[in-house]
Structure 1
């Protein structure tokens, strides 16, 4: 039973990562890696500051990884990826808009005083 399970898992992994390997898979993996890197950036900045922080780079990694993963999902016709990334990208862009607004307001307040 364990041998059969091992062979099935090995066959599955071979099919998914070797037989189906193409440029789109490579692009999708790159997008997912970029997307995952945002958590590494967030963790490192938080550790450095000793508190939970979401740095600006987090949002740029989110948008970059999300767009690449969305392109992959569109090409592969994967509705779960398309739906998830399309909605998420809107949220990431909106966060950048809110950050920019706050920075403009802080700059204006600084100049006023």
Structure 2
């Protein structure tokens, strides 16, 4: 297998991960009967974005690199905020302040 085919596969894998996040979000929203953003959405965004960033770096496409790198910061920040909120809920539950 040539390097070009390997990187093409990596690019398609990243796109598949990135696209899967929309299906996850849609199904979670349908289940809840309201718009929701499950944590899996952010993990798929992070995984897909990181894979696509690797592909963009290989392709040496500065527009694609900047777009994916900026997105990664946003996805990571959302996961940090979710973790912080989850920890705060745990503290409140332990203190009986639910």
The verdict on a shared fold, with TM-score over 0.5 as the criterion, is yes
Considering Cα pairs closer than 8 Å and 6+ residues apart, tell me whether 1 or 2 has the greater RCO: 2
1:77 Cα shift? 0.2
1:23 Cα shift? 1.3
Structure with greater Cα Rg = 1
- Given the alignment of the two structures, is residue 101 of structure 1 paired with residue 88 of structure 2, yes or no? no
- Which of 68, 72, 84 matches 1:89? 72
Show the counterpart of 2:41. 58
> What are the equivalent positions in structure 2 for 1:1-113 lying under 5 Å apart?
22-113=5-96
Runs of 4+ in 1 over 6 A off after TM superposition: none
RMSD (CA atoms): 0.9
TM-score by length of 2: 0.91
Q: Secondary structure in 2 aligned to 1:110?
A: helix
1:42 Cα shift? 0.2
1:47 Cα shift? 0.2
Q: Which runs of 5+ in 2 are unaligned?
A: none
Task: Give distance in 2, aligned partners of 1:68 and 1:100.
Answer: 23
Aligned length: 93
